Chains A and B, each alone.
Chain A
């Protein structure tokens, strides 16, 4: 009898403690680990009550926004890791999980006949030869695949998390057609450049892992195909070799799906060479470091070893501070559509983040929901517009000494007719910077192409074909908000989800599925 009371008191006490925490402690609205906003208490309505969605949303809200959530998540991941058979030194057991191909193998819809013909015809053109790259940087390292399809390479504090690429050359065709269309529309006085950036998997996949069928798919054939299909007047920027030549440096972030600013520097140098402008040596930039950065791969991989390997986020700012930056920030609704445009204001291009911040990559402009215009002291008659995705954010900062003006436009949040914009601003050089996922996405290509013909300042962007996941799946990833140190609240859509959501339009199970797990 007494034992029963002892047990019930102790366990009851533990239970009561947890219940008090879960019922009464303040609930977080944002998860650092998962980089997304957590669910809010749902709005009440009788119709939602009667169809069951209100009550199920309350349950989801309760589970999703638990106090100390991130701590419990970390504990949960540690437990899951504990279930694995610990492997000793020299043991090359690998676990892989194929998450499906990114990119359609067939010619996707959305391209009209003329585009298709043009794309095919141009493949006859001389191959824009890109030599094989150095893919041996991580050979000899042990690796394992986390549950969500991210490859974890190395151990200890040098762990690198890699996202998988499974696309095929033909999936780049819509992108090619889009770039060629830009070239047509902008006319002969604007030089058009295409930079397709490979993701880290290309160079950092260990040899053992590459040998396993179905895991590693080289991005080189796809990039080569894209470049050889572009119109001959379009300038291909070979970022692949520029990066490959420096693989032993920190050109890609280890814990994030982006490249490091240093990688962007080498790519910017290659662009400058092709464009015929000058980019200073790296030593002529100020080096800034954000310590203990843990990026998006922690949330994607749900693997504790990523959290245990924080890195230094190193970026560079021009020593010459005589440039002025003007932002025009867009109002964006919760479906990421632009619904309004703010007034331009002067601001800093580079935002400061503290050590340990998970948002270091937002250093560049702090957000994607804007048009950035940088006017420099250069006088060479050249004005650059960059149409980019999040990879492109790291590039402009190295070009402030190379062009009179640098305009940074995000293909998702640009509400104008891009041809008019370029004409009005006297753009002489137009650069596409995209990571390889987006270069293989017909959705991205369609959206970018639509900017050529849209009515200026109309705020209805083409509908996102992405559906919300079913109730039984992962919570929808939302925007994240972070107070930048200069007091501005920036809102940036978590980049990879944006990009991967595009892929889902045609590509069925894609990286987006993996990110949502």
Chain B
């Protein structure tokens, strides 16, 4: 199941809301301490619905996830019970997690690579469980946080299962660190304000995905999938630009929906995107894109390896190699990761020291160019297609442009404009306008905000429903992970 699906929106969600509220009512009635009500029933509903959500798409692999959580639960308890062998417990837990991830996601890749090097290796066909990259990383985060005593080990298996399998963030992130929400598992509060913000955030995410990302995916498919055989230079550029918007709105939209639902439940997930296309260097870009992944690698790989104190070059390359590899079990992803790693290293000694001397628009163009070309590497896991694409984009194709390019631009003109607009922090600007025009009149400001939010929410809901009906493929790009 995915969020931008009518069945999720109009069957799963209503059922969940109803039962969750019921659970909340039961909790409140049976709680001896009204200030700290038990979350027993609420959490039970959340866990059950999360498992249903996952099982809907993976009826068999849901067991894998349940077992993974169990293994992590036991490892953490071992760590806590026996201080002398806690390192062994950590290592065992990490190895198990990585073995699971490795087998289900990378075994085929390793086998194919060895095979292409000449070694006779049978290539297994293993289907990738949805969300495995996310939940394994969250498990790793849990074990390390417990080891470092940043958070206490979970005494209850059900609560750990809740953290890992929570449906808002299970399938496509953000990667929620255990210490972020450990307390909130059993003590959280969602006021009307929280729900107001959460619902609005969810709808923004839905709009980004359905209204923007889905339309861009049609354009990018037209050039980069269907039209690859006769790709013109203009077509390559339009295709990859469409993909640039597609992946941003797809992924950030999903993160918005996750954060929104989390907020409604009383969880406060950290932001995952900060207007990445407003970056000025690649270093800056990666501090704005998929921030939960970046901070995961920083805290759990880069710093443990020595960070910038020891063998910095090596550490950076390792992190970027892993970043690339996390995105997919194919060489183009690894190249993509290393591409950014190298550029970031080069930036450290060239652009960053001189950043104030270089005009910002120039930096901005430079950074976006690198990012867009990077998406070109990211898009094609077939090397032949990748080569075709790069030949076309640098001018070595049959024709510089064709009429389909004009069509893609003019027939979707307002889509492009809207997309460019929403890459920028419009919400911040727009919400600050009433405050600046009428300082001190918080009441009127509040009403204007309410009115505009009502209009936006209604429009998004109605348009998204219309676009979803009859739309077919709707899978998130990042559900491959």
Contacts and interface: CB of A to CB of B under 8 A. Distances in A.
B59 A52 contact: yes
A213 B406 CA distance: 14
Interface string A63-88: 11010010011011001101111010
Nearest to A213: B402
A18 B410 contact: no
Given A22-B6, A23-B10, A83-B412, A51 B470 contact: no
B222 A4 contact: no
B226 interface: yes
B157 interface: no
Contacts of B462: 75
Interface in A1-50: 1, 3-8, 10-11, 14-16, 18-19, 22-23, 34, 49-50
Contact of A11 (B11, B222, B412, B461): B461
A6 B450 contact: yes
Nearest to A33: B470
A145 interface: yes
Contacts of A64: 470
Nearest to A55: B56
Contact of B413 (A80, A84, A98): A84
A18 B192 contact: no
Contacts of A113: none
A98 B200 CA distance: 40
A76 B200 CA distance: 22
Contacts of B9: 19
A4 B468 contact: no
A97 B199 contact: no
Q: Per DSSP, are chain B's interface residues mostly helix, strand or loop, or mixed?
A: helix
Contact of B200 (A7, A15, A49, A87): A7
Given A1-B193, A8-B199, A473 B447 contact: no
Nearest to B415: A83
Contacts of B58: 52
Contact of A15 (B192, B195, B461, B463): B461
A95 interface: yes
Contacts of A52: 57-60
B465 interface: yes
Interface residues of A, number: 60
Nearest to A98: B404
Interface in B183-207: 191-193, 195-196, 199-200, 203
Contacts of A10: 454, 458
B394 interface: no
A3 B466 contact: no
Interface in B168-191: 191
A324 to B, nearest CB: 44
Contact of A7 (B11, B57, B453): B453
A280 interface: no
Contacts of B471: 63, 76
A69 B7 CA distance: 14
Contact of B410 (A16, A66, A84): A84
13 contacts: A3-B447, A7-B453, A23-B11, A55-B55, A75-B466, A76-B466, A79-B467, A93-B406, A97-B222, A97-B407, A145-B407, A214-B403, A472-B473
Nearest first, the 5 closest Cβ-Cβ pairs linking A and B are: A95-B407, A85-B413, A4-B196, A4-B192, A472-B473
